[in-house]
Chains A and B, each alone.
Chain A
């Protein structure tokens, strides 16, 4: 035991003796003893005050620790037998318990904080996901008020969603049909309703595949209704184009097939009275079979190019040589109509990276069209123009034919499009020019053009990039 502690114990003992004497004095009522007792009590008070003063800083620490809830371990020794020792022990015990509770609360507080952060992060993520969805999503409550909507919904119906102010669907949604559908779905408690809705927009009507789903509680009450609107305008357009294509193909295939079938039957039935008629019928069957074959080939080629499945073998070739060979192939056909074909003068550098067969097909197709639609004794001129600065070469085929009406010019490269005014001039599938366009633009990255004046002739042409390197690739 330290010296200082011994002194404090002694002083505390004196204080206690004083108090005892004071009590005896009070009982006996002796003046002398009372005076002595008073002196002892005073001394004891002074001593205890000194003791309290000595430990005031420690008590301050305890009070502070209690107020801030921190953990303080009171390890100092107290004078044995002093009241402070009991207070200190009790306080320490209280502090231990309090500190443990504070610690628990602090941990719980930290957990709650983390959970709040997590919830906020999830909320932000859900909002970001909802707003990134291209479909319009609207959630309504049991009173048909919008309680959640994504950006696409706001854009579609032209409202700004504010979570703090739920909007009535009649106010927010311009489509009466959708408003009715939402109300009806909610009141009828139908789990899912699907329907196609069309909204009138400035440019064109837009169609939406709309799915309404009820959100129910355990008792089957509809709490919310989720409406998801998926834009199917493009899909509908593609489906329409597909139907048109199938319809066109069907018509184009059935026409030559009808001739083959009919003429074959006529031969079987002996409707051809003489050898000449028999030969004529056989000729029709043969030409229509060839037409059918060409048609199927064209359809397949276009389909292959469009789907990216056609094998393309590109190599560096002289375009002048390709044109020369093509002109040679078409010459006899032109001569039958006494049409003169002027070939291009050779140029210094005309190397292009092309699939030779495909570009030959393009040139032959354009030349063949020029011959078809040019009256007898007309002229066809083939030109090649080099643009070294742009690194391009342009092939132009100019005819003195019937020309194309202005309203048809922009459509001549469309599938199955035929210029009605020129139908009498030649038969065709309406696929040749589309195939030309696909080969030049899709396969070779070039461009195609046409200009025409009715009664004067047409100019068809295409532009190809000049070769930089030899390559073989599959498109």
Chain B
């Protein structure tokens, strides 16, 4: 069975690394990017099963990246989990509009990230 693919986007190297290691250790193929612009390019190219993205990033924020992803028919369906240090930054309305599957506030637990990814992928498969 082919490994599931995940894209991790964060400008904080240590966050990207820890999430990537956790996912790799649990059977994911992981690609990483350090800003929204690179994240969008990589998502268009690799079409991951799930994207885990930071909210605040240089060059292009997580929200801008998702908006762009939703406009591209090839990437519009990819579920996204947001990691943010600002728990209150995403309004429910915006979350629904951009179809953000889940939001996790920093400091987060890698276990929690993995569990959320599994839940989201399960729901996505059911749909």
What residues make up the interface of A, taking CB atoms closer than 8 Å to B?
247, 250-251, 254-255, 257-263, 265-266, 269, 271, 284, 288, 418, 420, 423-424
Interface residue? B18 (CB, 8 A): yes
Q: Is there contact, CB below 8 Å, between B86 and A262? A: no
Q: Which of A258, A263, A423, A424 contacts B108 (CB 8 A)?
A: A258
Which residues in B have their C-beta under 8 angstroms from that of A418? 58
Q: Is there contact, CB below 8 Å, between A260 and B107? A: yes
Interface residue? B72 (CB, 8 A): no
What residues make up the interface of B, taking CB atoms closer than 8 Å to A?
11-12, 14-15, 17-19, 21-22, 25, 34, 56, 58-59, 85-86, 105-111
Q: Is there contact, CB below 8 Å, between A263 and B18? A: yes
- Nearest residue in B to A269 (C-beta to C-beta)? B111
B90 to chain A, nearest CB (A): 13
B10 to chain A, nearest CB (A): 9
Which residues in A have their C-beta under 8 angstroms from that of B58? 418, 420, 423
Which residues in B have their C-beta under 8 angstroms from that of A266? 18, 21-22, 110
Which residues in A have their C-beta under 8 angstroms from that of B59? 420
A265 to chain B, nearest CB (A): 6
Which residues in B have their C-beta under 8 angstroms from that of A271? 21-22, 25, 110
* Cα separation A423 to B37 with both chains bound (whole Å): 15
Which residues in B have their C-beta under 8 angstroms from that of A254? 85, 105-107
- Nearest residue in B to A272 (C-beta to C-beta)? B21
* Cα separation A247 to B56 with both chains bound (whole Å): 12
Q: Is there contact, CB below 8 Å, between B110 and A258? A: no
* Cα separation A423 to B25 with both chains bound (whole Å): 29
* Cα separation A261 to B85 with both chains bound (whole Å): 13
Q: Is there contact, CB below 8 Å, between A250 and B85? A: yes
* Cα separation A265 to B58 with both chains bound (whole Å): 28
Which residues in A have their C-beta under 8 angstroms from that of B21? 266, 271
Contact flag A257-B107 (CB < 8 Å), given A420-B58, A420-B59 = yes
Which residues in B have their C-beta under 8 angstroms from that of A258? 12, 15, 85, 106-108
B119 to chain A, nearest CB (A): 19
- Nearest residue in A to B88 (C-beta to C-beta)? A247
* Cα separation A215 to B108 with both chains bound (whole Å): 58
Q: Is there contact, CB below 8 Å, between B109 and A261? A: yes
Q: Is there contact, CB below 8 Å, between A261 and B86? A: no
Q: Is there contact, CB below 8 Å, between B22 and A263? A: no
Q: Is there contact, CB below 8 Å, between A284 and B14? A: yes
Which residues in A have their C-beta under 8 angstroms from that of B12? 255, 258-259
Q: Is there contact, CB below 8 Å, between B86 and A251? A: yes
**What are 10 A-B contacts defined by CB distance under 8 Å?**
A251-B56, A255-B12, A255-B106, A257-B107, A261-B108, A262-B19, A262-B107, A271-B110, A420-B59, A424-B34
* Cα separation A423 to B56 with both chains bound (whole Å): 13
Which residues in B have their C-beta under 8 angstroms from that of A257? 106-107
A101 to chain B, nearest CB (A): 83
- Nearest residue in A to B34 (C-beta to C-beta)? A424
Which residues in B have their C-beta under 8 angstroms from that of A250? 85-86
B21 to chain A, nearest CB (A): 6
Most interface-central of A254, A258, A260, A423 (chain B CB within 10 A):
A258
A446 to chain B, nearest CB (A): 32
* Cα separation A219 to B11 with both chains bound (whole Å): 69
Which residues in B have their C-beta under 8 angstroms from that of A420? 58-59
Contact flag A262-B11 (CB < 8 Å), given A254-B85, A420-B59 = no
Would you list the 5 A-B pairs with minimal beta carbon distance, nearest first? Answer: A258-B107, A258-B106, A254-B85, A420-B58, A261-B107
Which residues in A have their C-beta under 8 angstroms from that of B86? 247, 250-251
Q: Is there contact, CB below 8 Å, between B111 and A259? A: no
Q: Which of A262, A265, A269, A423 contacts B15 (CB 8 A)?
A: A262
Which residues in A have their C-beta under 8 angstroms from that of B15? 255, 258-259, 262
Which residues in B have their C-beta under 8 angstroms from that of A423? 11, 58
* Cα separation A269 to B22 with both chains bound (whole Å): 10
B30 to chain A, nearest CB (A): 14
- Extra contacts besides A254-B105, A420-B58 (16): CB < 8 Å: A250-B86, A251-B86, A254-B85, A255-B12, A255-B85, A257-B107, A258-B15, A261-B107, A261-B108, A262-B15, A266-B18, A271-B25, A271-B110, A284-B14, A284-B18, A420-B59
B59 to chain A, nearest CB (A): 6
- Nearest residue in A to B25 (C-beta to C-beta)? A271
Contact flag A259-B110 (CB < 8 Å), given A251-B56, A266-B22, A420-B58 = no
B55 to chain A, nearest CB (A): 9
Which residues in A have their C-beta under 8 angstroms from that of B19? 262
B122 to chain A, nearest CB (A): 22
* Cα separation A263 to B14 with both chains bound (whole Å): 9
- Nearest residue in A to B11 (C-beta to C-beta)? A423
Most interface-central of B14, B58, B106, B109 (chain A CB within 10 A):
B14
B78 to chain A, nearest CB (A): 24
Which residues in A have their C-beta under 8 angstroms from that of B18? 259, 262-263, 266, 284
B72 to chain A, nearest CB (A): 24
